[in-house]
Amino acid sequence: MWSRLWAYVRSREGILFILAFAGIGLLTHFLFVAVLLPWITRQGAEYVLPSLIGRNFSVVSRSLEAAGFEAVVIDSQYVPDKPPHVVLLQDPPSGTRIKKGRKVYLTITSAVPPTVPFPRVEDMPYEEAHRLLTETYKFRVGSVEYDYGREPDIVIAAKYKGQVIQPGTAVPKYSTIDLVVSRGMKEQKVPFVSVVGLSLEEAVARLNAVGLSVGKIRYKPNPDVPPGHVYRQYPERVPNDSLPIGTPIDLIVNEKAPSTSVEE
C-alpha cells in the first residue's frame, strides 16, 4: 500500500495533485487574511476620534451618531465659568482609532450647581469667615455691610439674596454671599438696666427702650423662677452703670427653647 502511494506521489499526476492542493490552501489563506478577517474584525471601518472637549453635547452626539458611534454620558459636573452641556472629558481620548459601533463615554457640564449646607460664620473674624466661604465652600463673597456690634471686624450675619442665612441651610455652591460685619460699639452711652425677674417679652421691651439690644437667649430650667422669666443676664453689672448704645445683653430664661429658636 505504502509503495503504491509513494509511487503515485512521485508520478506526474501525484505531483500535480500536490501542487494543486497547496495552491488551493495558499489561496484560501490569502482570502481569509485579506478579505474575511478584515470584514469580521471591521479593520477597514476604523475612525480617528477627534477632540470633543469644549463642544456642545448635542452637536457631538449627532456627529458621533452620523459616523456610526454612540455617545454615552457617564457623569456631569458643574463648572461656574462654563455653559451647561459642554463636554469636559472623553473616553477614548482624541487621536484614538476606534471601530464603528463603539461607545464614546463623555463627562459634560451640569446646568444646576450642587447645594451644600451653609456653615456658621456668625461671631467669626471677617478674614476667617471669608476664607471659609471662598476656599472651603466655594462661595463668592459679595457686598460687606457694616453695623454696630460688640467687637470690630466680627461677622454679625450672612445673607443670600437679601435674606439672613441660618447655619445648615442648603445653598447652591458658587452662590454670592453678602456679609454683615461689626464696626464696633457706638460711642454714645445709655443707662445700664437689670431685667432679671421680668418675663422675656418685658425684658426685651425694656432693653430696647433704653437703647440696648438683646444678645443670645439661652433657655435653661430653673424651679425657683416662673416659666418664661429671665433669671440671669450678662453683663450683670458694668462700671458707671452705663454702656455704649446698642450693646447686646445675653439672657437666660427659665423654660425649654421654643422650636423656632436655636438653643446655645
Residue 258 lies in a domain: no
Please check whether residues 127 and 177 belong to one and the same domain.
yes
Please check whether residues 105 and 64 belong to one and the same domain.
yes
Above pLDDT 90, what percent of the chain?
A: 44
Task: Give the SS3 label for residue 121.
Answer: coil
How does pLDDT run across 114-151, given as a tens digit for each residue?
Answer: 899 999 999 999 999 999 999 999 999 999 988 877 78
Please check whether residues 22 and 48 belong to one and the same domain.
no
Please check whether residues 49 and 105 belong to one and the same domain.
yes
Show which of 130, 150, 183 is a domain's final residue. 183
Residue 103 lies in a domain: yes
Please check whether residues 136 and 175 belong to one and the same domain.
yes
- Total of domains in the chain: 4
Task: Give the SS3 label for residue 40.
Answer: helix
Q: 69 versus 32: which is more confidently predicted?
A: 69
Is the separation of the CB atoms in 155 and 122 below 8 Å? yes
Indicate the helix (H) or strand (E) that contains 27: helix 12-31
Please check whether residues 72 and 128 belong to one and the same domain.
no
Task: Give the SS3 label for residue 7.
Answer: helix
Can you tell me which residue has the cell 438653643?
Answer: 263
Please check whether residues 48 and 71 belong to one and the same domain.
yes
Please check whether residues 179 and 202 belong to one and the same domain.
no
Please check whether residues 203 and 171 belong to one and the same domain.
no
CATH number at residue 98: 3.30.10.20
Residue 205 lies in a domain: yes
Of 215, 224, 144, 209, the residue nearest 182 (C-alpha): 144
Please check whether residues 179 and 144 belong to one and the same domain.
yes
Is the separation of the CB atoms in 253 and 219 below 8 Å? yes
Please check whether residues 61 and 10 belong to one and the same domain.
no
- Which domain does 213 fall in, by range? 189-253
Show which of 168, 183, 198 is a domain's final residue. 183
- b/e code 7-19 from CB counts within 10 Å (16+ = b): eeeeeeeeeeeee
Show which of 77, 93, 109 is a domain's final residue. 109
Q: What angle is formed at CA 53 by the lines to CA 49 and CA 57, rounded to 5 degrees?
A: 95
Please check whether residues 36 and 48 belong to one and the same domain.
no
Residue 141 lies in a domain: yes
Residue 259 lies in a domain: no
Residue 170 lies in a domain: yes
Q: If you ran DSSP here, which 8-state letter would residue 68 be given? A: T
The grid cell for 98 is: 476606534
The grid cell for 7 is: 509511487
How does pLDDT run across 202-257, given as a tens digit for each residue?
Answer: 999 999 888 888 999 999 999 888 999 999 999 988 888 888 888 899 999 998 65
**Least confidently predicted of 28-37, 156-165, 174-183, 199-208:** 28-37
**pTM summary value:** 0.47
Residue 260 lies in a domain: no
Contacts of 84 (CB under 8 A, 6+ apart): 109, 110, 111
* CA distance linking residue 220 with residue 123, whole number of Å: 22
Residue 263 lies in a domain: no
